[in-house]
Structure 1
């Protein structure tokens, strides 16, 4: 393990190189607070492991030799740590220790910095939800507070997170500075819609209505009512053709989550069409790539062997 000072200096130095890799490969902008999280993990990884978390995903590029990693068996790097139901807007940066828990940067728009941190239990029901914390260290603080709320009265259990609390306190000023340098995300204060299975990206006001309140009814139709399902898909296509991609994005996201043979291609067509209409081509490419490779036996894609 590095000292905290050395880890912060090292990860700050690596950040521009990692950010360029993410920009070139993913077409996305990496926030500076990810480097602060990588520094904490490199110096206080054992403390982080006490709550079952570890860096994973694009944070693997911060490891020693991380920029030499390539996709195994010729696989695209964007598949690394991308579980079957992950939305294209979700890019994994941290893993958990139960039920496929993983945390990701949520990008509303690939041209902008991510807006929130999201999480997903991939081996449970795999819905994707957002945290109110603006950074990965903020998410860690939430997890520690939750742990203490559950076990804080037990002296031995509370002692388990004391080292991580100390690390969070030490890195707090660096985290705040990273957020200050990046500035508030463009879409951070905009109202957001939620589906029954995920948050929706924030959309321009002329994008139409995602009809989020009907998400649960749509999911039921996609599973049990082929006639109603076909009508929802047709309605989404009509809106998309009229230049209003919001419903197509919502319906496509629901079908992606359901992953049913009956509607898999329809869901992909709606997602790709909506992303293209919004000018969010990086997401269209991720969605298409993911659809072609959703049956991977392992999402551990980055390897030193190439």
Structure 2
């Protein structure tokens, strides 16, 4: 296992190369705190695994030889660790302990750093919710604190996470420095709303009304009431054509999550139209690639030659 000093130095040196890869292929900006998490995994991976957590997704590029990986069978690398219901704004960076739990950087606007970290249980309800922690290390700390609140009275269980707590303490200063160096994106403190199945991305003023309070009833209509579903889709199209893409983004997201054959193309068209109207073309490209490959048997896409 790499020492903590060496791990932090190595991952800090790798960060510009990985960030360039993400910018070139995804069109997205990588925050520096991801490199600190990669260092934690390199030096204290065993302790991290005690919580069922490991690097995954774009953090795989930080591994030894990670930038030499390619997409298996010629697949687009943006498909790596992208589950069926993941929104385009969600880019996986870490796996969790059960039910397909994975954590992702959430990019409201591709021109900005990610505003939050989100989580999704892909093999459960596959809904996407925001974490309250601003860095991956702090998400791990939240998981440790949650574990201790449940099992901390058991000495043996509490001792299991002591090495990870020690490691988190050691890396805390580097994590804070990374956060300061990046500075928060201008959207970070904006109030956020939620659809029935996911957080709603932050949109510029004048983008229209996503009608989040009606999200649950829309989901019911899309599944049970074809006439009402058609009305919602038509209204989203009208607003999009009028230069207000918020409802198109909301309805498109709901249809993406439901993944019903009858509405699949309409949902994609609304999402792409909304992203292009917002100038968020990188998200439109991710959504397009994902839509073409949602039936992959495995989201493990990155491989090295010979594997």
Give TM-score, length-normalised by structure 1: 0.99
Structure-1 residue corresponding to 2:73 = 73
* Aligned match of 1:273: 273
What's the CA shift string for 1:63-110, capped at 9, x where partnerless? 000000000000000000000000000000001231110000000000
User: In structure 2, what is the equivalent of residue 48 of structure 1?
Assistant: 48
Shift of 1:133: 0.3
Aligned to 1:236: 236
CA distance in 1, matches of 2:138, 2:212: 28
1:211 equivalent in alignment to 2:211: yes
Q: Within 5 Å, which residues of 2 pair with 1:1-306?
A: 1-305=1-305
Matched-pair contact (CA < 8 Å) for 1:72–1:305: no
Name the SS of the counterpart of 1:86 in structure 2: coil
Give deviations 1:17-52, integer Å, cap 9, x for gaps.
Answer: 000000000000000000000000000000000010
CA distances 1:238-293 after superposition (whole Å, capped 9, x unpaired): 00000000000000000000000010000000000000000000000000110000
Q: 3-state DSSP class of the match of 1:294?
A: coil
**Deviation string, structure 1 residues 136-157 (Cα, Å, up to 9, x no partner):** 0010010000000000000000
Matched residue of 2:195: which SS?
coil
| Residue 305 (structure 1) shift | 1.9
- What is the number of equivalent residue pairs in this alignment? 306
Kindly report the root-mean-square deviation, in angstroms, between the aligned alpha carbons of the 2 structures. 0.6
Q: Structure 1: which 5+ runs fail to align? A: none
- In structure 2, runs of 5+ residues without a counterpart are none
Distance 1:36 1:186 in 2: 23
Paired with 2:97 and 2:183, the residues of 1 have a C-alpha distance of: 32
How far apart in 2 are the matches of 1:91 and 1:185? 17
Residue 101 of structure 1 contacts residue 120 of structure 1 at CA under 8 Å; is this kept in 2? yes
| SS at structure 2 position matched to 1:263 | helix
> In the TM superposition, what is the alpha-carbon distance from 1:199 to its structure 2 partner?
0.3
Q: Distance in 1 between matches of 2:83 and 2:97?
A: 15
